[in-house]
Amino acid sequence: MKKVAIIDSGSGGINVLAKCMEKCPCFNYLLYIDDKNVPYGNKSKDELLRIAKNIILDLDSFFHPNIVVIGCNTLTSVAIDFLKEEFPKIKFIGTYPNIEEAKKLEKYIVLATKVTIENSPLLCEIQRKCFYPPDLPKVIDENLFSREKIKKYLQNTLPKEDYKAVVLGCTHFEGIKLELAEIYPSAQFFDASDRVTKELSRYAYGSSCQVQIISSREMFAEFYNYFSSIKSPSSSL
C-alpha cells in the first residue's frame, strides 16, 4: 500500500484528507498538522522553505512517504518546486486555485492568502479578481465549533457582490462553504482539493485505506474531532 502524507498548518489539510479518502480510498494516509507554525499565510518565503524542508525530513524519518500532498495553497505556491529538487524520490502533489471553470462564468472572485496571491503563477495575471481575507485561516482554526463567529467575520470582511463563482484558494476555506454560500447564494464554488484527488488517483490501486493524524505540537484533539465530524475514518487511528 502506497504511503501518502498530507501536510498543512491546520484544518485545511483535514478538508483535503476527507476529499482524498472519499475519492482515493486505497492509500495509507498520514495527516501532518503543523500547528506549531500556524498560520503559514503571514510568513516570509525563506521561512516557509525552511518549514517545508523540516517537515519532509521529519516525515521521511518515520513514515517514508511515497507521495506528499501539500494540502495548502500558500505552501504550494512558495515551496513545491524547491521540495521536488530537494527530495527527488518523493512525488509531490500541490494544491492550486481551481480557476479554469470559474473564468467561464466571468464574474468571479478568488479568496486566498496574501502569500498565495503574490506567489502563485495562476493568480499573477488576475490579482484584481483576488481578495485576501486577513487572518481567515486562523479564525477558522480557532472557531471550528463556533460557526457563528466565523459567519460574523465573513459578513464584516468579504466584499458584497453578486458573484457567479467563488474560487477557494485556501484549503481552510473548503470547510466553510455553507457560511460562504449565505453571503454568495448565486455562486458556484471551486475547490483546490478536487485537482489533488484527480492527480492522486493516477497512483491508486485496489485496497482499503488507513489513516493517521499527528500534530507538530502533539495537540490534535480539536482537529481530529473536526475531521470525525466531516468523515469518519474507515480504519483505526
Strands, E assignment, 104-203: 108-111, 130-131, 165-168, 188-191
Q: What is the DSSP code (8-state) at residue 94?
A: -
H-helix or E-strand spanning residue 200: helix 193-200
d(CA 81, CA 78): 8
Provide the sign of the torsion angle of the four alpha carbons 116, 117, 118, 123, taken in this order.
Answer: positive
d(CA 155, CA 149): 10
d(CA 41, CA 58): 22
- 72 has catalytic annotation: yes
d(CA 64, CA 14): 20
Question: How are beta strands 165-168 and 91-93 bridged, if at all?
Answer: unpaired
Q: Which has the closest alpha carbon to 75: 102, 103, 55, 90? A: 55
- 124 has catalytic annotation: no
Q: Which has the closest alpha carbon to 161: 236, 229, 108? A: 108
Instruction: Please pick, among 20, 24, 130, 170, the residue that the annotation labels catalytic.
Output: 170
Query: In sequence order, what are the beta bridge partners of 8?
Result: 33
Instruction: Please pick, among 20, 24, 72, 130, the residue that the annotation labels catalytic.
Output: 72
- 165 burial class (0-12, 13-18, 19+ CB within 10 angstroms)? buried
Q: Which residues are catalytic?
A: 72, 170
